[in-house]
Copies of this chain bind each other. A is one copy, B any other.
Amino acid sequence: MRISTRGEYGVRAMLDLALHSAEEPVPLSAIAARQDISEHYLEQLISALRKAGLVVSFRGAQGGYQLAKPPEEITISEIIRTLEGPIAPMHCVEGAHADCHHVELCATRMLWQKLQASMEEVLSKTTLAWLKDEAKKILATAAIQR
């Protein structure tokens, strides 16, 4: 019942872009260093995010990555879905499956649907912009305390 490192790193990388790529593209190495993630591994993840249209890339020197849309329009749901697959606690609620063989199984399916809906609710309603704001707040209070 865990989100794997793909989703975890992906969200952190996207937040990193939200915080640092407003002006110029950010090279992978910078994200990897700040977030303490293996560069090669992160490359795989960001490649998927690019193909999903969540980031844009610029090749060559001074190249790097930027968010493809304003952070208000990028939801965590999108990020998780591209990196972890469908947000479904059970295969029977993944897409248009209706292959319930047992009666009891169908009853449990309703349970998994409720669970899925509540997860999707949270993930689709929180955006990168929200995360960015939270991160800035934390940074601000940390600065005061120092």
Contact = CB atoms under 8 A, between A and B. Distances in A.
A111 interface: yes
Interface of A: 1-3, 7-8, 11-12, 15-16, 19, 34-36, 76, 80, 84-85, 87-91, 101-108, 110-112, 114-115, 118-119, 121-123, 126, 131-132, 134-135, 138-139, 142
A1 B90 CA distance: 9
19 contacts: A1-B87, A2-B88, A2-B89, A11-B111, A12-B102, A12-B105, A15-B107, A15-B108, A19-B104, A34-B104, A36-B101, A76-B111, A103-B135, A107-B131, A107-B134, A107-B135, A108-B131, A110-B134, A118-B119
Nearest to A139: B103
Nearest to A121: B118
A95 to B, nearest CB: 14
What is the predominant secondary structure among interface residues of chain A facing chain B?
A: helix
Nearest to A2: B89
A89 B8 CA distance: 10
Contact of A85 (B1, B11, B101, B106): B1
B35 A90 contact: no
A139 B1 CA distance: 30
Contact of A102 (B35, B115, B132): B35
B118 A122 contact: yes
